[in-house]
Chain A
Amino acid sequence: MDINMSYDNVMSRKNQIMKNAIGIDYEGFESGSIAFDYEKMMKEAGYSLDEIIKIQRDHSVGNTPIIELKNITKIVRKLSPKGKGARIFIKDEATNPSGSFKARRAAVSVYHAKKLGYKGVIAATSGNYGAAVASQAAMHGLKCIIVQECYDSQGQGQPEIIEKARKCEAYGAEVIQLSVGPELFYEFLKLLESTGFFNASLYSPFGIAGVETLGYEISKQFMEREGRNPDVVVCTNAGGGNLTGTARGLIKAGAPETSIVGASVNLKGLHMASDRQFNRKSFTTGHTGFGIPFATFPDRSDVPRSAGRPLRYMDRYVTVNQGEVFYMTEALAQIEGLERGPAGNIALAAAFSIAQELDEDKLILVQETEYTGAGKHLQPQLFFAKEMGIDIAIGDPREEICGLNIILPKHPSLIKAVDLDMDKLKKSYISKAIVNVDNISEDDIRFLAEDTNSTTEFVKEIIDEINRRYE
């Protein structure tokens, strides 16, 4: 192996490679300590909402319909105490060109890459974002490489990821498939360096600003059809960009009172970098294995500062189990006539439970759906789980043990969104942020309060608590 391409050597060039590949000098937003100027980054590196609406409209992205799930709401009301059971709506993001809301993020990134004169774009993603970048690159005439974590050491691939490779190839992209491991980032850096392509990161200001139109449309469409904004918006949460962008868009539309709930599928106990456990999960995104680490340490991504900062905007964070999401995926097809992909229905499973807590006159919106098809559907995903030795049972989903079984709820009343402790998440974020920082400034404390949607008193309390532990 050429010495300059060794693992350590390439990783040591990370900052320079990233800077060349994204065209943003993050230094301009840094304070030199924990704090950085988030809003300045979003403003200077990104585009205005009007510009993004135009970019997306020019590339057939957005303006997706909102559908009221009347039959699911009827079921909710049968399970709720008298007077409870909010009306549930869903934003049908599957109708975007590449079949998911990710088209919004890709539209802005690829437009920007083209504007800056890059010949191609690269994205590291096993998810819908790959298809979105490939689709937008096709529209703009740019070359595209998608890098996927796909197979375990036995050569077994997640059916959902293999399907996405097919879809990316359908749009003319080159797909590089990798075995399990965080060294994907090493391969990604080598590709960025050797091709000189643009890093269409999910976490750049463009990637997040692209989702703001989703929040904005939600408010506009609700004002038009219901005369008011939704009371609750539920977002499937993985890297945090979906939730961040949607919440920012709602605020820009003048709907700051709408409550934002993050929802992830519970994959407790499964290690995301484990070769063996890789294929013992049935969800490759929208899960706690991404959701919790990215919420509590957003800057772990492939850019120096992530524009996705979910704790800033999240009022509540809930988990649902795999069997519950599969149940709701089947329910959406069977009683609403909408066949959509399972991973997009994580927020739906959460909303089904939360709606039962809310009064009948409340409005709750699930802000995405995704396309479905061979590989990416509950049939092949459950079949694959069986092949991997996972038991598929019908019973109480609370007894589901990730990696061992999937329990389809025997009755819809058993579907329960489980709250994560927000204060605990905020504490975890703060403790990670202050590691190895000797002098925490007042600016840092203010920033940490903003980034966790808490107060400077709360941040100081946590810092004191942590310091006492080490004294």
Chain B
Amino acid sequence: MNANKGDWVRIYNVILNVGERGENLPEDTKKVPFEMWDKGFLVNDIATVGDTVEVETIIGRFITGELLEINPSFDVNFGSGVFEPLYIGKQLREMLGE
């Protein structure tokens, strides 16, 4: 899928590769790169996911990175229903009614 100039996109960068990272890290963290994600309006005329692109962020900074997502969504929701806490209200209401 192509993105056009002015599209709102999400970009990605590796800030520090494995070996460039800070000191005193736990073993698992040492083995992975230090990464970043940001969003902005595409500056390039046209680009495809995976291309290195330039964007203008919402506050007007120009940064480059790998094009990751076009019209990025907010993946926050309430998840699938979790039934475990349902006893709590019942239990407390019963105690109040005693």
Contacts and interface: CB of A to CB of B under 8 A. Distances in A.
A157 B76 CA distance: 10
Contacts of B46: none
A358 to B, nearest CB: 20
Nearest to B75: A162
Interface string A115-151: 0000010000000000000000000000111000011
A93 interface: no
A327 B85 contact: yes
Contacts of A143: 59-60
Contacts, number: 154
A408 B82 CA distance: 13
A330 B26 contact: no
A6 B39 CA distance: 24
Interface stretch (A34-42, A311-319, A381-389, A458-466): A381-389
A331 B88 contact: yes
Q: Which 10 residue pairs across A and B have the least CB separation, nearest first? A: A383-B79, A334-B89, A375-B76, A153-B32, A330-B88, A179-B35, A380-B79, A143-B59, A177-B37, A274-B26
A299 interface: no
B34 A178 contact: yes
Contact of A330 (B16, B57, B75, B85): B85
Given A271-B26, A330-B85, A187 B36 contact: yes
A78 B77 contact: no
Contacts of A120: 59
A166 B72 CA distance: 11
Interface residues of B, number: 44
Interface stretch (A168-176, A247-255, A256-264): A168-176
B36 A183 contact: no
A357 interface: no
A339 to B, nearest CB: 12
B95 interface: yes
Nearest to B60: A143
Interface in A177-197: 177-183, 186-187, 195
B84 A408 contact: yes
A275 interface: yes
A192 to B, nearest CB: 13
Interface of B: 15-16, 20-22, 24-26, 28-29, 31-39, 57-61, 74-82, 84-85, 87-89, 91-93, 95-96, 98
A182 B21 CA distance: 9
Interface of A: 6-7, 71, 74-75, 78, 120, 143-145, 150-151, 153, 157, 159, 162-163, 165-166, 169, 172-183, 186-187, 195, 271, 273-276, 326-327, 330-331, 333-335, 374-375, 377-380, 382-384, 386-387, 392, 394, 408, 411-412
A378 B79 CA distance: 10
A75 B75 CA distance: 38
B84 A183 contact: no
A273 B25 contact: yes
Given A178-B36, A187-B15, A379 B59 contact: no
24 contacts: A71-B96, A75-B92, A150-B37, A153-B32, A162-B74, A172-B59, A173-B58, A175-B38, A175-B39, A176-B38, A177-B37, A181-B21, A183-B21, A183-B22, A186-B22, A273-B29, A330-B88, A330-B89, A334-B92, A379-B81, A382-B85, A387-B79, A392-B84, A412-B92
A386 to B, nearest CB: 7
A326 to B, nearest CB: 7
Given A179-B35, A183-B34, 16 more contacts: A7-B20, A78-B95, A143-B59, A157-B75, A159-B76, A162-B75, A166-B76, A174-B59, A178-B15, A331-B88, A335-B89, A335-B92, A379-B81, A379-B82, A382-B82, A394-B84
Contacts of A334: 88-89, 92-93
B34 A169 contact: no
A223 B15 CA distance: 53
Contacts of A175: 38-39
Given A159-B76, A335-B92, A183 B82 contact: no
Contacts of B95: 75, 78, 412
B88 A327 contact: yes
B92 A331 contact: yes
A237 B88 CA distance: 26
Contacts of B31: 275
B35 to A, nearest CB: 4
Contact of B16 (A145, A159, A183, A195): A183
Contacts of A169: 39, 58
Contacts of A182: 22, 24-25
Contact of B82 (A150, A159, A383): A383
B50 to A, nearest CB: 15
Contacts of B81: 379
